[in-house]
């Protein structure tokens, strides 16, 4: 500190110091005042509720994507082993081989890391090594493959060894929408809250269930939102989740929230963000063919918010989110639903447009405490995605039917 002395030089130094200090204080106030508050936190029953109002990183683009290759381009290879029909999932083993769940062709295609075909696993049917309408897949480092078929008599999860031989079959108690297998053989399911053979309006339990290696349920969490319309209880509670070593991150197709739970079911936080559109419910008419008889039904349809969720590099959480309301020509719709006497059914998904470019989706990126960091605008349609290390796979199931691979640069 400079003290003033009786000579003029000391007084001058003191004046200069006070002036500089005042400038610094004013600048500090201006700087702090210019920082927009991007989120607020309220504590409800001991749990953090985070309300994101903007991007924590502002306009700084700290994450970029570099396109590497596509899987399934029709003009790449004149070979059936490279052509995909309605792919729905991707997996990567410990040798960086890429597995694609080619759902429309009812098979799994295995490729090297640089895209060369290696192997086909599975086929259509209900016997060993077969599945019907496979929807989800998980590939372990050792090459074991878990495949979930959501409909038909083979509803459940089949385990294949690296040679493609079925070695186990798991039958969940409830109809599931997704699953994740941990290294200690813990299995995590997201559920529609209904048991096979029951009415879809009779939801029970919680959204996520955790089972140990012995098949015993050890925890469940994530509450179903109750709606006045019983059918909406079923359709609007479709859950999406991702897992890291210790936590489960849960979001919903039709609800604006991200939740974090410990494996034993303790809620860590709930987080939401400001949307560019209003949420609501509409009614859509459709026809269901039951035993050869056509029945017209009215289905409530909620406004979608998110499509998929993954854990990413450096403790980040990634979502595929909607930037706005869908236009009618951008929607994929359920066409014919045919239900056989045995309860087996088939579904036809219809794309209402041949367009391949859109600004409908973005990657919404949070930190692992629920703070909205940034977004990355996408310019194509996407139905699901996966992240493995620094590789991002965007899955277009119904239009171009390809999988785009990107390198994540942070």
Predicted confidence pLDDT, tens digits, the chain (410 residues): 433 444 444 444 444 444 444 444 444 444 443 346 999 999 999 999 999 999 999 999 999 999 999 999 876 667 899 999 999 999 999 999 999 999 999 999 999 999 999 999 999 988 888 888 899 999 999 999 999 986 554 568 999 999 999 999 998 877 788 999 998 999 999 987 666 666 555 667 789 999 999 989 999 999 888 888 877 877 788 899 999 988 999 999 999 999 999 999 999 999 999 999 999 998 877 777 666 778 887 888 899 999 999 999 999 999 999 999 998 888 876 555 544 554 454 555 555 567 789 999 999 999 999 999 999 999 999 999 999 999 999 999 999 999 999 999 99
State the pLDDT at residue 347.
53
Beta carbons of 242 and 310 less than 8 angstroms apart: yes
Q: Which residues pair with 169 in a beta bridge?
A: 158
Cα dihedral angle (113, 116, 118, 121), rounded to 10 degrees? 80
Listed in sequence order, the residues at least 6 apart from 299 whose beta carbon sits closer than 8 Å to its beta carbon are 231, 235, 283, 284, 285, 286
State the pLDDT at residue 19.
47
State the pLDDT at residue 171.
86
State the pLDDT at residue 340.
52
Dist. CA 137–CA 99, nearest whole Å: 9
Q: Provide the token pair at 351.
A: 């794309």
State the pLDDT at residue 336.
52
State the pLDDT at residue 298.
81
Report domain extents, the chain. Answer: 1-35, 36-409
**For the whole model, what pTM was predicted?**
0.86
State the pLDDT at residue 11.
43
Burial 2-32 (b: 16+ CB within 10 A, else e): eeeeeeeeeeeeeeeeeeeeeeeeeeeeeee
Architecture of domain 36-409: 6 Propeller (2.120)
State the pLDDT at residue 186.
94
Dist. CA 370–CA 364, nearest whole Å: 11
State the pLDDT at residue 8.
46
Closest CA to 179 of 135, 213, 237: 135
């Amino acid at each position: 500190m400079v003290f003033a002395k009786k000579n003029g030089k000391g007084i001058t130094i003191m004046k200069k110091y006070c002036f500089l200090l005042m400038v610094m204080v004013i600048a500090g106030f201006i700087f702090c005042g210019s920082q927009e508050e991007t989120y607020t936190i309220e504590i409800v029953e001991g749990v953090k509720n985070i309300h994101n109002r903007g991007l924590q990183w502002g306009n700084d683009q700290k994450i970029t994507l570099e396109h590497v290759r596509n899987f399934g381009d029709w003009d790449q290879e004149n070979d059936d082993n490279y052509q995909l029909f309605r792919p729905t999932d991707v997996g990567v083993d410990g040798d960086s081989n890429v597995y694609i769940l080619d759902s429309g062709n009812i098979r799994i295609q295995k490729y090297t890391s640089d895209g060369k075909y290696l192997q086909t696993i599975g086929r259509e049917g209900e016997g060993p090594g077969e599945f019907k309408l496979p929807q989800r897949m998980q590939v372990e480092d050792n090459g074991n493959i878990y495949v979930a078929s959501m409909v038909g008599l083979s509803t459940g999860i089949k385990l294949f060894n690296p040679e493609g031989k079925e070695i186990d079959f798991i039958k969940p108690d409830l109809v599931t929408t997704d699953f994740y297998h941990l290294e200690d053989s813990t299995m995590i399911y997201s559920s529609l809250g209904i048991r096979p053979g029951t009415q879809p309006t009779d939801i029970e339990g919680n959204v996520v269930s955790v089972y140990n290696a012995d098949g015993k349920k050890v925890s469940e969490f994530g509450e179903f939102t109750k709606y006045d319309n019983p059918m909406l209880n079923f359709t609007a509670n479709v859950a999406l989740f991702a897992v890291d070593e210790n936590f489960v991150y849960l979001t919903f197709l039709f609800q604006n929230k991200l939740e974090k739970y410990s494996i034993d079911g303790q809620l860590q936080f709930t987080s939401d963000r400001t949307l560019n559109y209003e949420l609501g419910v509409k009614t859509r008419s459709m026809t269901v063919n039951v035993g050869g008889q056509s029945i017209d039904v009215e289905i409530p349809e909620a406004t979608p918010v998110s499509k998929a969720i993954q854990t990413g590099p450096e403790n980040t959480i990634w979502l595929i989110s909607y930037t706005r309301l869908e236009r009618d020509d951008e929607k994929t719709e359920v066409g014919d639903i045919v239900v056989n006497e045995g309860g087996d059914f088939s579904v036809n998904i219809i794309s209402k447009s041949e367009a391949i470019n859109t600004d409908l989706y973005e990657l919404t990126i949070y930190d692992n405490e629920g703070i909205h960091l940034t977004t990355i605008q996408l310019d194509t349609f996407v139905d699901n995605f996966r992240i493995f290390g620094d590789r991002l796979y965007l899955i277009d199931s119904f239009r171009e039917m390809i999988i785009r691979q990107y390198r994540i640069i942070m």
